[in-house]
Chain A
Amino acid sequence: MDIHALQQIVHQTRDARRKQTLPKFSPADRDQLIHKYHPDFRERAYRPIRFGPNDGDKTVLELATLLEGDSPIADGFDLTADHTTDVLVVGGGGAGCAAALHAHAAGAKVILATKLRLGDSNSVMAQGGMQISVAPEDSPVTHFVDTLKGGHMQNDHQLLKVMVEEGPSIAKWLLSLGVLFDRDADGNLHVKKGGGSSKPRLLTCSDYTGLEIMRVLKDEVLNQNIQLLEFCAAVELTSDEKGNCTGAIFKDLDNHRHVVVAAKSVILATGGIGRLHIQGFPTSNHYGATGDGLCLAYRMGAKLMHIDTFQYHPSGAVYPEQLIGALVTEGIRSEGGHLVNAKGERFVNELDTRDVVSSSIIRECEEGRGIRTMSGRIGVWLDTPLLDAEHGPGTVEKHFPAMMLQFERFGIDISKDPVLIYPTLHYQNGGVKIDTNSETNVKHLFVAGEASGGLHGRNRLMGNSLLDLMVFGRRSGLTAAARAATMPQGKLTVGHLKGFRAEAKKHGSAGGVVSPMILPPYTRKEPERMANS
């Protein structure tokens, strides 16, 4: 059928739906729904890791294979340092920039290395906003409780307390750098309501919050003249005789040479795993989201946690083909957008947590109430025109310019027609286990941002990622910088690989997989020639 004909039911049922209020599910119903439909509970997608710090723990096949993968660095590799620094930051997204800026401000010599350009990251795409409890009726404690609920009570309490308490000072820092958060008429920071939060708490820069923050942080990194190694992918860490972290080895993606950096501390801010396309899901993640930091930290002996749980953002675009996997911001639902099945019915409270909303969309589709595309995709409608109906014409255009433009390029006006969506792989809930200074169990190895685990429990609340990046970027940067003055540079070896390789051999894992992946293998290989087949 013509897409407009299928959309009619959304238009026809709009007025009736506007009068409806949908209660949130009871805790028991939530659990049941998630266990039945959430991708985290697909047994076949998981296997235990066979050796290393998380021996026996389950994770998805795609990640397990990479964690057990071999290092590209052979024994006897020349570890003469090309650069020496106090603090080496790996990753150029939000956490990396925050770490580099704070370490630099504290007087340390900093090198920031990133495998793409400075700023290429998921951070730049964050549209929904940043949770900080600035409203008088809100408090850090309420922020803590909301996050804990969203994370299924599995969040590390210490990390979480640190994050919510330092939020307001992060807002002040960003404002002082010139970040333009949306304001109320009285000059106070405007707050929006986000899924799973009991109070409006999202600071926003229209629907460009991540872009605005990253434009400013990137500019500041350049203004501070922090040394950059762009298009340099970290392929291994170095350790001294005690197993402490002492630097990293990079591959320059332009000339394919190796670059060795000696550092007193290393901060991994390497982000997530969306480009592993876990369980075949499309992803909202950037090109480099291949979980490199997890592999590097794991080989060094750093313990991972919650690596069996991933966030599937409820609203990834399904139509048109060109936008598959791209994110349709949660802001639409925050402002009252309904999710509607093929029968024109709502089926979930749209402001429930992401895992619940995603599970319910999957349920609708699996029970035959989805809308299919000829390319074999399926989804439900997100009623975007409802926002104009509810808050006046022009609302969608004014509040969601990025999204308007994204669909307009393909001739779709989302203020007039609903959007077809299905969950998309969005975020790695877990990661490398850290303490409140962002340090791992490997000394002088820090992990900040999405690559770390524990803070978000088993489901990250919307808007908590941008805050996570800033808070733990800052903590890691300051801790690493403070340490630099009083410690010598450790020796550079790859001694840690010896034990890891022995374990791998014992488990028959010499399968030729080399990690990290660096970039996803999207380039189409040459089709087989007739003579060879």
Chain B
Amino acid sequence: MRDGWSDLPARCTKRKMAQEDKENVIDQPEVLRHKMVTIEIAGKKYEVPEGITIIKALWYSGQEVVRGAGCLGGFCGACAAYYRTKDDPKVRTCLACQMAVQDGMSITMMPPFPARKATYDIQTLKDPKQDLFNLYPEAPLCRNCNACTEACPQKIDVREGVWKAVFGDFKSVSEMFMDCVMCGMCTPVCIADIAPNLVALYVSRAQGAHFTEKPLGLDTRIKEIQDGRFNDEWTKILKMTEKELADHCATVK
């Protein structure tokens, strides 16, 4: 079993290369040097290889990770983290599976934040734009501090999104928040106790369920299937021998 933090060479390189072509090798001085750096995880110093991701640095320093890791591909928001680089007062946010460590970096994982999620039945909402104010009455209380936008590791203009939601521009919100991984880092920084990611999720779902055109072609196709339009074709195909079916498949390009 290979370790997650150590990037062992891919197995194919162990096999004999037909031609050792020195010209086609990418320079990676950082890989050759194997430089160790000192970082601080939750206030404790550890030595780890430079350039590995924060998640890998956790594993490298011997920590068991259960909470704080998910898809490891930058999509699930499980590994939301705060970090600060050497001598810089600014504490930034990141997804720990997508951020490389550097010397002097201080890191801490974001704990789960007890934000309130409204519950609703999206399909039976009568007036989704008005309902926003019942479900999330804090949404219009934004004081424009912009902390949410600065906290977003996905570079969404969160503050703008909250205002657009309040003004009923649900379409723009749904487009702006397509990148949202629901890490929730916009929430603890909000001085008005808004959970912008949850507001945007409600708005996006309402946009999809209530303010988007119904695709007529889809209904046509569903009806065709119900009416048995493809039955003859199915009968023909499912009766075929293996050979006939293979020949038939070969004709479809």
Query: Which A residues lie at the B interface, using CB under 8 A?
Result: 1-3, 6, 27, 62, 116-117, 119-122, 124-125, 133-136, 139-142, 144-146, 148-149, 153, 157, 161, 165, 168-169, 171-172, 175-180, 183, 187-189, 198, 205-206, 208, 210-212, 215-216, 218-220, 222-223, 225, 231, 253-254, 276-277, 279-282, 284, 286-287, 318-319, 321-322, 324, 326-327, 342, 362, 365-368, 370-378, 401-402, 405-406, 409-410, 420, 422, 519-526
Contact = CB atoms under 8 A, between A and B. Distances in A.
A117 B78 contact: yes
A223 B31 contact: no
Nearest to B203: A178
Contact of A367 (B18, B214, B215): B18
Nearest to A169: B222
Contacts of B71: 120-122, 124-125, 286-287
A142 B253 CA distance: 10
Interface of B: 1-5, 7-13, 15, 17-21, 23-32, 51-53, 56, 59-67, 69-76, 78, 98-100, 117, 119-123, 154-155, 174, 178-182, 201, 204-209, 212-222, 225, 230, 233-234, 237-238, 242, 245-246, 248-250, 252-253
Interface hub of A122, A215, A409, A410 (most chain B Cβ within 10 A) = A215
Q: Name the residue in A125, A133, A177, A373 with the highest tally of chain B Cβ atoms < 10 Å from its Cβ.
A: A373
13 contacts: A121-B71, A124-B71, A153-B246, A178-B208, A188-B218, A208-B75, A218-B182, A366-B12, A372-B13, A372-B21, A376-B10, A405-B154, A410-B100
A56 B236 CA distance: 36
A106 to B, nearest CB: 16
> Looking at A168, A210, A342, A409, which has the most chain B CB atoms within 10 Å of its CB?
A168
Contacts, number: 287
A410 B30 CA distance: 13
Given A145-B248, A172-B222, A6 B24 contact: yes
A524 B5 contact: yes
Contact of A375 (B2, B7, B100): B7
Contacts of A125: 71, 73, 75-76
A254 B221 CA distance: 48
List the 8 closest pairs (A to B, CB-CB), nearest first: A376-B9, A178-B205, A368-B19, A522-B4, A187-B213, A178-B208, A178-B209, A368-B18
Nearest to B246: A153
Contacts of B212: 175, 180, 183
A385 to B, nearest CB: 18
A409 B99 contact: yes
A373 to B, nearest CB: 5
Contacts of A367: 18-19
A161 B25 contact: no
A177 B249 contact: no
A27 B252 CA distance: 13
A474 to B, nearest CB: 15
Given A286-B70, A371-B26, A376-B13, 13 more contacts: A117-B76, A120-B71, A136-B217, A142-B252, A165-B225, A180-B212, A223-B121, A231-B66, A319-B26, A372-B26, A374-B29, A420-B26, A523-B62
Contacts of A134: 215, 217-218, 221
Contacts of B154: 405
Given A140-B225, A161-B234, A180-B208, A422 B252 contact: no
A1 B25 contact: yes
Nearest to B222: A168
A301 to B, nearest CB: 28
B179 A405 contact: yes
B238 A161 contact: yes
Contacts of A371: 24-26
Contacts of B249: 145, 148-149, 153
Contacts of A525: 62
A145 B237 contact: yes
B137 to A, nearest CB: 18
A359 to B, nearest CB: 12
B217 A406 contact: no
A1 B26 CA distance: 5
A374 B32 contact: yes
B186 to A, nearest CB: 15
Nearest to A208: B178
B164 to A, nearest CB: 16
Nearest to B200: A215
Nearest to B242: A153
Given A187-B213, A206-B178, A215-B182, A524 B60 contact: yes
B113 to A, nearest CB: 13
Given A1-B23, A212-B178, A374-B32, A176 B18 contact: no
A216 B201 CA distance: 8
A405 B238 CA distance: 46
Nearest to B208: A178
Contacts of B213: 183, 187
A90 to B, nearest CB: 17
Contact of B10 (A183, A205, A223, A422): A422
A371 B242 CA distance: 42
A144 B245 CA distance: 11
A139 B204 CA distance: 30
A512 to B, nearest CB: 15
Contacts of A133: 221
A378 B24 CA distance: 10
A337 to B, nearest CB: 20
A134 B221 CA distance: 6
A402 B179 contact: yes
B1 A523 contact: no
Contacts of B73: 125, 284, 286, 326-327
A177 B26 contact: no
Contacts of B121: 223
Contacts of A165: 225
Nearest to B21: A368
Nearest to A45: B11
A327 B59 CA distance: 22
A177 B119 contact: no
B245 A153 contact: yes
B62 A373 contact: no
Nearest to B174: A180
Contacts of A189: 215, 217-218
A141 B221 CA distance: 12
Contact of B2 (A144, A280, A378, A405): A280
Contact of A370 (B24, B56, B123, B214): B24
Contacts of A321: 7, 28, 30-31, 51-52
A176 B120 CA distance: 14
A223 B122 contact: yes
A178 B178 contact: no
Given A135-B217, A141-B237, A366 B99 contact: no
